């Protein structure tokens, strides 16, 4: 069968246009694994999913929640997930030390929400006062991480430590006991169960300078799919501004459906706490998710001083990259909300 040349040309142009249109509407499939069950602290990611921000950035995002029986950490290097939410920079340092090829691309808590709580009126009003506590309730993870720094920086002693079993019963029964806490969890639970506000002593305010709730990805994705990583980080940043300052109803409904333990009351009490940990420090000018080399070096030096690592174990700069943050993405949304 014979076709005229101009007919063939028109057909090729039409095919190219159709291919370009298909590409424009193609969505990169992305899997984010969180470190715990769905909660307001994760709200920016659910917001970006619920309000279509991820879709606008060409992303089809699946959020897989973590939990007490879920270990999402091996899923990242295995290629089963593309982004992983982890608690702080120690996990990223551990990966580099063990030569696991991951890298942190954003830090959503400028202040680590880890804290120690105490009963009011018992003499535990400053972080230094904790050295006088007879009982410090700590889980194993805390004992092998920030407790080592607390001993070095504030003179704590191992004989103070008792196991924390994630129940408030021992703390509430002993007014002289202090225990580990997460800013949006135990302090609110004490207030609800016991009717008083505990003294909350922030590790970040005391000098524990790690970022919290950092997002890791694989080094190969940063190298080969940098634009996809950029779009995910920027869309997530916008999601957090919209969640903290805008209409978050759709995201909250999604969170409550996934995790029925979350209540409207808990969300309302969490929002001001989240703002005070997420949209502070460098984030106020450089945008949510910001990271700095100076801050990373400070935390690395403290980790080495506390005996968590040796200076020869790894190069801490390999644990993170600032190429996707510090651009002010979304800052105008906060300004608009303020107006």
Beta strand extents in the chain (DSSP E only): 28-33, 59-64, 83-88, 102-109, 114-118, 135-138, 161-163, 177-182, 199-202, 212-218
**The two three-digit tokens of residue 129, written as one number:** 């006062």
Interval 256-271: pLDDT, tens: 999 999 999 999 999 9
Q: What CATH fold (topology level) applies to the domain 26-111+210-338?
A: D-Maltodextrin-Binding Protein; domain 2 (3.40.190)
Residue-wise pLDDT for 54-83, tens only, equals 999 999 999 999 887 778 888 999 999 999
Spatial CB neighbours of 108, under 8 Å, sequence gap ≥ 6: 44, 212, 213, 214, 215, 236, 240, 278, 288, 289
Q: Which residue has the higher pLDDT, 23 or 338?
A: 338
Q: Is the pLDDT of residue 273 over 80?
A: yes
Q: How far apart are CA 240 and CA 288, in angstroms?
A: 8
Chain centre to alpha carbon of residue 260: 21
The two domains 26-111+210-338 and 114-206 share their CATH topology (first three levels equal): yes
Residue 116, pLDDT > 80, answer: yes
Residue 308 DSSP one-character state: S
**pLDDT exceeds cutoff 70 at 2:** no
Average pLDDT of the residues in 177-181: 97
Kindly report, residue by residue over 278-305, the tens digit of the pLDDT: 999 999 999 999 999 999 999 999 999 9
Name the average pLDDT for the chain: 92
- pLDDT band at residue 149 using 50, 70 and 90 as cut-offs: very high
CA–CA dist 256, 259 (Å, integer): 5
Residue that is written with structure tokens 């969505």 in the block:
27
Confidence of residue 6 (pLDDT cuts 50, 70, 90): very low
Q: Which helix (H) or strand (E) holds 244?
A: helix 226-245
Nearest-angstrom CA–CA distance, 82 and 72: 11
Q: Encode pLDDT of 318-333 as tens digits.
A: 999 999 999 999 999 9
Q: Which residue has the higher pLDDT, 4 or 113?
A: 113
CATH fold of 114-206: D-Maltodextrin-Binding Protein; domain 2 (3.40.190)
- Say what the pLDDT of residue 113 is: 96
- What is the residue extent of each domain of the chain? 26-111+210-338, 114-206
**Chain segment 191-219, per-residue pLDDT in tens:** 999 999 999 999 999 999 999 999 999 99
Confidence of residue 25 (pLDDT cuts 50, 70, 90): low
CA distance 73 to 65: 12
């Amino acid at each position: 069968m014979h076709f005229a040349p101009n007919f063939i040309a028109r057909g090729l142009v039409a095919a190219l246009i159709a291919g370009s249109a298909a590409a424009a509407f193609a969505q990169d499939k992305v899997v984010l694994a969180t470190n715990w069950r769905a909660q307001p602290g994760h709200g920016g990611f659910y917001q970006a999913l619920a309000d279509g921000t991820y879709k606008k950035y060409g992303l089809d995002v699946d959020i897989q929640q973590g939990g007490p029986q879920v270990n999402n950490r091996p899923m990242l290097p295995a290629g089963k997930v593309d982004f992983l939410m982890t608690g702080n920079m120690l996990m990223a340092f551990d990966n580099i030390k063990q030569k696991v090829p991951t890298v942190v691309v954003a830090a959503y808590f400028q202040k680590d929400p880890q804290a120690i709580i105490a009963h009011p009126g018992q003499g535990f009003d400053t972080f230094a006062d904790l050295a006088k506590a007879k009982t410090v309730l700590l889980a194993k993870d805390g004992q092998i991480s920030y407790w080592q720094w607390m001993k070095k920086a504030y003179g704590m002693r191992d004989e103070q430590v008792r196991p924390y079993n994630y129940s408030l019963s021992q703390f509430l029964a002993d007014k002289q006991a202090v225990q580990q806490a997460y800013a949006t969890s135990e302090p609110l639970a004490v207030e609800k169960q016991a009717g008083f506000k505990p003294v909350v002593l922030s590790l970040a305010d005391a000098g524990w300078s790690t970022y919290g709730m950092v997002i890791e990805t694989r080094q190969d994705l940063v190298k080969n799919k940098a634009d996809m990583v950029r779009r995910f980080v920027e869309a997530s940043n916008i999601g957090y501004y919209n969640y903290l300052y805008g209409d978050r109803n759709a995201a909250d409904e999604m969170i409550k459906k996934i995790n029925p333990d979350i209540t409207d009351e808990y969300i309302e009490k969490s929002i001001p706490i989240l703002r005070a940990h997420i949209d502070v420090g460098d984030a106020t000018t450089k945008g949510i998710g910001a990271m700095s080399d100076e801050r990373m070096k400070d935390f690395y030096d403290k980790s080495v001083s506390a005996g968590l690592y040796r200076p020869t174990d790894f190069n801490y700069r390999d644990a993170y990259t600032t190429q996707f943050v510090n651009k002010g993405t979304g800052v105008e949304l906060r300004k608009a909300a303020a107006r």
